[in-house]
A and B are shown apart, each in its own frame.
Chain A
């Protein structure tokens, strides 16, 4: 209020006074390449849209480098106003009492209307606390979906499989017959583990997937996931599934080159794929096991969220809140969705994209949102586990060993369970 009166006073005096100092805030992010340029665009547009605040985005390396830089800065009292934190690192930030301002509190305190129901259901609770209060504002959000090479499937005379049973008995053998590697996937922890539990509405961890307590244990001894990986292993051995290690692009490339017929990737891969592939492709939901459930549920998001850091003045927090208001507006969300392939996080932005005919032009761009909007279950809101970056590393290590025949299904999952629980117990200890 105060700043606006001063500003209008300044305006009255006219040009004789130097320009009134705007409130400046910083935003650290980990978006390189083209994505970084879109981030810069959003920031410039925000600065141009009003005169009270200036935001400066800073590229701080990878997600991990961004988070560590933020932690180092926080310990020295130099933290940015906003920081982008990736899905697996979210628990570290959310668990730290007083490091972040819950975005829901921040918005309400600064008179920015907020209703969690405005957000798409698969997006809503991933960065929320146990009571459902939103802590981090989802930013680049995506969900794992299945892309397929239309020509390859036509050639083999099959349609994209809805279930893994169908894949195993019909789709994959036909594609193999037609000379294709039937399928690859790009992220075993995210697609085949975390979202496997969500899609089948199985508990991924104790204590409400870790949302209710830091004293959590992981359910990596669940028979369903072990069976899934046993099947995965047998498909790889039988040439029904390609495996190129834990790196994302090594598994994506054979699909882009037309050697692989179907690929489990991110809904955010849509834009890049359109550049890379020279064949017609489309996308659909992640398959599910009919033997586990006949009512498959929604998946949840991956990607990253923006967190407001504590320790700043009210004016700066106000600026942060205003920036979030701008960022979540349907127009900006739609622009972000269109430019990058990440899903729009609010229903209003989704409606705007539909009205504008975006999905008539690119039907595959809608799959991610539709899948995130499928019916929810009690185990589909996400997970909250500390040291999760290391837990993912353990999963990738054991999965790779399993698929290259260095270990058995039982040993691999026993090792993951044991190491992950030990890491979780250590994390709980840091919080006590």
Chain B
């Protein structure tokens, strides 16, 4: 990073203090709490706790259920991130290209972003309902017996579709603004050099979108991992049973719902470490390939 910078000692520190203070109090303190709790077994009301060493962790490695949840989380994250980014990029490219109705499309495509997760879940549940869901009826017409909440893969499908539905608009907004900030002369020049629209997109336009795409990739991975739990909770009707679930939902189920503080703390720590590794890896791999300015 060889950038032009200001020389000041106190000012940058003062600029950072408010953000760091809030983070220290509302992130590092609770996170430390989780790390600490993960080595204990605690009565939820806080009357007693007992040091159990690595017990809370070893029971995770030895649980085939936990591993199953971890595998689903991986697949789910890949699918939701890939599909919502891909769909958003496709729509943004098209919306950037068309002349007539561009504004209308933009406005329409952004609407869903405003839907609150419980509402999205509610609409999803109604659409995929086993008995009266419109999508279930559609599947039945195609000769498939779709069963939300009974079949593992059917429930997974609903989770992916609703999550992609909710996440696409925000990606769309970013891709579109990214596309529109690409200077027109660059594109004109590229048009002369390379008449194939498809190749031109990947060789000229996409690299210019890379900073946006990288930002969105990280945001979407965290979204798929963390922010989908409201949708999952509504779709499984607060009843995990044999349904697929993500690691965060499992933390929620065991900790918030089941009051197993030590067990869920260990899961949170595992999750933190996983995401940290993933993020460092992304930064190393991707950021050096992106050219800012």
Report A's interface with B, CB cutoff 8 A.
62, 64-65, 67-68, 71, 74-75, 89, 92, 95-99, 243-250, 253-254, 257, 387, 389-390, 393, 396-401, 404, 406, 422, 426, 429-432
Query: Which of chain A's residues have a CB closer than 8 A to the CB of B287?
Result: none
* Given A71-B44, A244-B147, A396-B242; 9 other pairs, CB 8 A cutoff: A244-B130, A246-B239, A249-B237, A253-B132, A390-B253, A398-B242, A404-B150, A426-B41, A426-B260
The answer on a CB contact under 8 Å between B242 and A430 is no
Q: How far is the CA of A62 from the CA of B238 in the complex (A)?
A: 9
Q: How large is the interface on B (under 10, 10 to 19, 20 to 34, 35 or more residues)?
A: 35 or more
* CB contact under 8 A between A430 and B240, given known A244-B131, A254-B131, A393-B253: no
B110 within 8 A of A: no
B34 to chain A, nearest CB (A): 14
Q: How far is the CA of A356 from the CA of B159 in the complex (A)?
A: 50
Query: Which of chain A's residues have a CB closer than 8 A to the CB of B259?
Result: 67-68, 71, 89, 92, 387, 389
Query: Scoring B residues 237 to 257 as 1 if CB is less than 8 Å from chain A, else 0, what string do you get?
Result: 111111000000000011011
Residues of B6-55 at the interface with A, using a CB-CB cut-off of 8 Å, are 41-50, 52
B151 within 8 A of A: yes
Contact of B45 among A99, A250, A390 (CB under 8 A): A99
B263 within 8 A of A: yes
A272 to chain B, nearest CB (A): 16
A423 to chain B, nearest CB (A): 8
Query: Which of chain A's residues have a CB closer than 8 A to the CB of B238?
Result: 62, 64
Query: Scoring B residues 111 to 131 as 1 if CB is less than 8 Å from chain A, else 0, what string do you get?
Result: 000000000000000000111
Q: Which residue from chain B places its CB closest to the CB of A398 in the assembled complex?
A: B242
Which 4 residue pairs are nearest across A and B when measured between Cβ atoms?
A245-B149, A246-B241, A396-B241, A400-B242
The answer on a CB contact under 8 Å between A64 and B256 is yes
Interface on chain A toward B: helix, strand, loop, or mixed SS?
A: helix
The answer on a CB contact under 8 Å between A430 and B43 is yes
The answer on a CB contact under 8 Å between A430 and B241 is no
B207 within 8 A of A: no
Q: Which residue from chain B places its CB closest to the CB of A403 in the assembled complex?
A: B150
B86 within 8 A of A: no
The answer on a CB contact under 8 Å between A396 and B131 is no
A403 to chain B, nearest CB (A): 8
Query: Which of chain A's residues have a CB closer than 8 A to the CB of B65?
Result: 397
The answer on a CB contact under 8 Å between B52 and A429 is yes
* CB contact under 8 A between A430 and B50, given known A71-B44, A253-B132, A390-B258: yes
The answer on a CB contact under 8 Å between B45 and A401 is no
The answer on a CB contact under 8 Å between A247 and B41 is no
Q: How far is the CA of A422 from the CA of B130 in the complex (A)?
A: 34
Q: How far is the CA of A89 from the CA of B258 in the complex (A)?
A: 8
Q: Which residue from chain A places its CB closest to the CB of B236 in the assembled complex?
A: A247
Contact of B150 among A62, A75, A400 (CB under 8 A): A400
Q: How far is the CA of A98 from the CA of B253 in the complex (A)?
A: 26
Q: How far is the CA of A44 from the CA of B131 in the complex (A)?
A: 39
Contact of B263 among A389, A426, A432 (CB under 8 A): A426
Interface centre among B42, B49, B132, B239 (most CB of A within 10 A): B239
Q: Which residue from chain B places its CB closest to the CB of A88 in the assembled complex?
A: B258
* CB contact under 8 A between A393 and B240, given known A92-B259, A245-B149, A250-B149: yes
Contact of A247 among B42, B48, B237, B262 (CB under 8 A): B237
Q: How far is the CA of A98 from the CA of B259 in the complex (A)?
A: 18
The answer on a CB contact under 8 Å between B263 and A74 is no
* CB contact under 8 A between A396 and B149, given known A99-B45, A257-B131: no
B202 to chain A, nearest CB (A): 43
Q: How far is the CA of A68 from the CA of B147 in the complex (A)?
A: 32
* CB contact under 8 A between A75 and B45, given known A67-B259, A390-B260: yes
Q: Which residue from chain A places its CB closest to the CB of B235 in the assembled complex?
A: A247
* CB contact under 8 A between A244 and B149, given known A253-B131, A432-B48: yes
Q: Which residue from chain B places its CB closest to the CB of A65 in the assembled complex?
A: B256
The answer on a CB contact under 8 Å between A397 and B240 is yes
The answer on a CB contact under 8 Å between B260 and A387 is yes
Contact of A430 among B42, B239, B253, B256 (CB under 8 A): B42
Query: Which of chain B's residues have a CB closer than 8 A to the CB of A390?
Result: 253-254, 258, 260
Q: How far is the CA of A407 from the CA of B41 in the complex (A)?
A: 32
Query: Which of chain A's residues have a CB closer than 8 A to the CB of B258?
Result: 387, 389-390, 393
Q: How far is the CA of A55 from the CA of B42 in the complex (A)?
A: 32
Residues of B221-280 at the interface with A, using a CB-CB cut-off of 8 Å, are 236-242, 253-254, 256-260, 262-263
Q: How far is the CA of A429 from the CA of B49 in the complex (A)?
A: 9
**A–B complex contacts, Cβ < 8 Å, 28 sampled:** A71-B259, A75-B45, A75-B46, A99-B47, A244-B150, A245-B150, A247-B237, A248-B237, A248-B239, A250-B130, A250-B131, A257-B131, A389-B259, A393-B239, A393-B253, A393-B258, A396-B239, A396-B241, A397-B241, A426-B263, A429-B50, A429-B52, A430-B41, A430-B42, A430-B50, A430-B262, A431-B43, A432-B50
